[in-house]
Amino acid sequence: MREAVADAARRLAHAGVASPQADAEELLAHALGVRRSALVTVSSVDPTALNRFTVLVEQRADRVPLQHLTGVAGFRYLELSVGPGVFVPRPETELLAGWAIDRLRPHPAPLVADLCAGSGAIALSIAHELPNAEVYAVELDQLAVAWAGRNADARTAAGDRRITLIQADAADPRTLAGQDGTLDAVLTNPPYVPDDAIVDREVAEHDPPLALYGGPDGLCVVRRLIDRAAQLLKPGGLLGIEHADLQGEALLAAVTADGRFRDVLDHVDLNGRPRFTTATRR
């Protein structure tokens, strides 16, 4: 087993995969049908599992996302189903979700919207960690909605019941129009990649373009979402928007210039890079 993992890690490193050892271990665990932590109890790999592992490694070397090969992506305390057609949730977005959860925890029954919800990662984490929250997840892309629905069904079966999934343009004034002025928080990981940006193959070839690209400066959709969030939030309601690491100042300025928000702040990720902007509705 150790030899198989070492050979796979070398193959993945040669292909430019950022975390070859970890990915090789995850793929072997998936081929064996066990968790990665259980690999320490495995001394050998049968030929059938080894063949599955070899195929998976070659696919990963061709830069198919690890999460597409295993079918799951971890996000905070959840495992979400993901695959072709949906944006794979990133660890950085966990910080935005955590920021909101910490601030909403004292609220007896927060009303929250996750705009551009993708797989539903933010919405489902809030529903899971704040059992009294009522959460709307809004997503436009049909394939992404299907994945979000699958995840929402799984969480509903597990007891996280107050989740409403809506297929719509999150920035359209007609979307959630009945909730204008009522929400306690609006959160979004929107498409913010500039149209001409160079991204990793995993992103360029496998993440849906609708979830990635946001115009020449990456902020065209974001500006519409700022306006829609201001309409949806009640006074004192929270806004949280993820952004690219070079957009911190621009997004801070955009939220401030709107005029309907106070306490506008930018936050860094675990690597110290600007990652999300927050504000409070006046």
Q: Does the pLDDT value for residue 144 go beyond 90?
A: yes
Collapse the DSSP code of 135 into the 3-class scheme (helix H, G, I; strand E, B; otherwise coil) and give the result.
strand
Given a contact cutoff of 8 angstroms between Cβ atoms, the answer to whether 240 and 281 are in contact is no
Q: In what helix (H) or strand (E) does residue 117 lie, and over which residues does it extend? A: none
What are the DSSP calls for 178-246, one per residue? GGTTTEEEEEE----B-TT----HHHHHHS-HHHHB-STTS-HHHHHHHHHHHHHEEEEEEEEEE--TT
Q: Which 3 state secondary structure label does DSSP give 278?
A: strand
- Convert the pLDDT of each residue in 110-120 to its tens digit: 999 999 999 99
- Residue 173: pLDDT band by 50, 70, 90 thresholds? very high
Residue owning tokens 């690890």: 66
Higher model confidence: residue 158 or residue 239? 239
To the nearest whole number, what is the mean pLDDT of the chain? 96
In this model, does residue 260 exceed pLDDT 90?
yes
**% of the chain exceeding 90 in pLDDT:** 93
- pLDDT (0 to 100) of residue 160: 79
Q: Rounded to the nearest 5°, which phi and psi values hold at 102?
A: -60, -40
- The span from the CA of 38 to the CA of 256, in Å, is 49
- Residue 106, pLDDT score: 97
In angstroms, rounded to a whole number, what is the distance separating the alpha carbons of residues 29 and 24? 9
pLDDT above 80 for 154: yes
Percent above pLDDT 70 for the chain: 100
Q: pLDDT value at position 159?
A: 82
Residue 43 pLDDT > 80, yes or no?
no
pLDDT at position 32 is 95
| Cα–Cα distances in angstroms (integers) from residue 257 to residues 44, 148, 194, 201, in the given order | 61, 33, 21, 35
Read off the pTM. Answer: 0.95
- With 90 as the cut, is the pLDDT of residue 157 above it? no
- Bridge-partner residues for 241, per DSSP? 188, 277
Domains in the chain: ranges and CATH? 2-62 (1.10.8), 73-281 (3.40.50.150)
Tokens representing 11 are 């193959």
Amino acid at 18: A
- Count the helices and strands in the chain (H runs, E runs): 11, 9
Mean of the pLDDT values across residues 30-36? 94
In the predicted structure, residue 162 carries a pLDDT above the cut 90: no
Q: Give the contacts of 113 (CB within 8 A, at least 6 positions apart).
A: 135, 136, 137, 138, 176, 179, 183, 185, 186, 187, 232
Candidate from 12-26, 38-52, 105-119, 219-233 with smallest mean pLDDT = 38-52
